[in-house]
Structure 1
Amino acid sequence: MDVDGKSLQRQPGLRSECVGIDWIHYCCLGHQLHQGVLETRLINYMGKISFSPYLVHGLGNQFIGKPLIHFMWNNFTGREPGFWKECSWLFAIALYIPILIWLADIFWRLVDAPSVTFAKMVEGKCFG
């Protein structure tokens, strides 16, 4: 990635993106202290189901996320815009993310994993 001063002025987040990429690259090279973070059970589990949240989040946002935000705003944080609306968003997200991960896990177990098994079987019969 070629990073010059002009591109950093146009895209200020590019610098932090480069730092994140460098950190992940450093961990993958085998530094034991940092590599342990990428080998935890939680990270491995999220890596297994990583495609499922991508597929599930659109419907989840539409049918669970947005109504949950409105419910929080109307019933718990008040109707004033500004700070309390942001708080209702944070509370709703704190409730929604575990629900999304649960839905993604169900989708992964019922759809994604069996379809990968089926695709491997077809590949084995065609090219094996």
Structure 2
Amino acid sequence: MTLHLLKLCVGADTIADLEAFQATRRKPPFHVTRMVPRRSEDLLDGGSLYWVIKGQIAARQALSAIEPFTDGDGIGRCCLVLDATIVRVMPRPFRAFQGWRYLQPKDCPPDLASQDAGEMPESLRIELAALGLL
């Protein structure tokens, strides 16, 4: 059964910020987290990492691999290897939380491409979603 992850995108105000940050890192893009998801098999069965940016679920990236490792200080960590493509989704409010959360497919916002949203500037889309108009 496919399962997704939900994670705050700390330090980014827009999807463009996320894209710029990932462009400066090694390829493929990745995110390191403290805890290893116990349901890795379900996550790798078509799952994505959904990014919460400025209080909105705004984008997703497909999960390619989940690689547990031990850092230089002997602390267990997990590298979430992501697809390079950042897919914009229909913005939906989501309050702040720590770590990551599992996200069921039924609770995922649809991709913008599948909603025929056109080429609306991200800043306008964020503002309209905050007003409850999207």
- From the CA coordinates, give the structure whose radius of gyration is larger: 1
TM over 0.5: no
- Structure with greater strand share of residues: 2
**Coarse TM-score class (shorter-chain normalised):** under 0.3
TM-score by length of 1: 0.21
When you count helix as a share of all residues, which structure comes out higher?
A: 1
